[in-house]
Amino acid sequence: MLKHILSLSPDALATDLSAAFPAYRAKQVLAWIYARFTTDPDSMTDLPTEVKEHLKQNYRLELPEVDARLLSKDGTIKYRLKLADACLIEMVMIPEVKKKTLCISSQVGCSRACAFCATGKAGLTRNLFPEEIIGQFILAARDLLPNRITNLVFMGMGEPLDNLDNVLFALRTLQAEKGLAFSPRRTTISTCGIAPGIRHLADSGIKTKLAVSLNSAESETRLKIMPIEKLYHLNELKQALLYFRRKTNFRITFEYILIPGVNMSYEDIRALSRFVNDISCKINFIPYNPTGVEGWSAPTKTQIDDFLQKATIIKQAVTLRKSRGADIQGACGQLAAQVNQTERLS
């Protein structure tokens, strides 16, 4: 079976092509892929026929297919993508005044079964290959032109640290000078708390920010929300985070979904304060985006304001992050799980 052109690092692809053609042809191909965002040789207008035919005969070149593209009233764009084996994944483009943030997937489904996550309800089908991860970026970058992606977050479908080798390969390409030269300062990997994976990431040499889906600093409460707590207790998670922090200049981000009656009491705030106050970090509070959990609801403005007032005891940077794209099934996994209920592209 042919190797995919994105499964080679930019350096490896350049070496591969330079064995058959002058070195400048490799530079042209890399520019088409990583600056003009296409893997279609017929679109590479400055290449001679023999180079185009070489690409077609020696590499797989397909990108994920955009199966649905939904635009929210807040400007968020949600894409459902079909992979070569017909598996479905999602990515989301979140526009702000000075930022264009792309949220991408790392797995088809997820095994971690967080209660608030639509993806977890479907279970894990498989890991994404590096070319499927990089392919998401290329598709989104092309769709966004003439604007550019400013921030990249691995917060889509899947647990990135459960597919860490492929995620790291993709990041090396995304950050490579011959690749996309994407800034580590604008890259974030999110995890539900895979302690060994956090240590592996810290030791990998890849620079990236880390976001942790915490949602409670009380073990019993967190276990109800996130089964991962049974495998990697809060104490083990914290030690892994302190280790990561010693290896990087980046602050850790904690994501905390606000769920009334579950994790918004003053006791919850005190526990969170004890957990985070000796870690260089910031905390994003996120109102729950309902995904069908019985008895759970989105917090009211009054509940949020009351919580934030009490949360002033936390001596870290705190922000309230609004949920985006609720009108287009914005929560991870919602769109892919509802294939027959969404509008297909013509």
Residues annotated as catalytic are 90, 332
What's the token pair of residue 103?
């949220």
The residue type of 312 is T
**171: left (phi > 0), else alpha (psi -120 to 50), else beta?**
alpha
Token pair, residue 18, equals 């330079």
- Beta bridge partners, 80, equal 68, 90
CB-CB contact of 212 with 255 (8 Å): yes
Kindly tell me the burial class for residue 323, based on how many C-beta atoms sit within 10 Å of its own C-beta (0-12, 13-18, 19 or more).
middle
Cα separation, 17 vs 55, in Å, equals 9
Rounded CA-CA distance 153/99 in Å is 12
d(CA 208, CA 238): 18
Q: Please report how many Cα atoms fall inside a 13 Å half-sphere around the Cα of residue 1, on the Cβ side.
A: 4
Cβ contacts of residue 173 below 8 Å, gap of 6+? 6, 9, 10, 130, 134, 179, 180
Inter-residue contact 233 to 219 (CB < 8 Å):
yes
Asked if 290 and 262 count as a contact pair (C-beta separation under 8 A), the reply is no
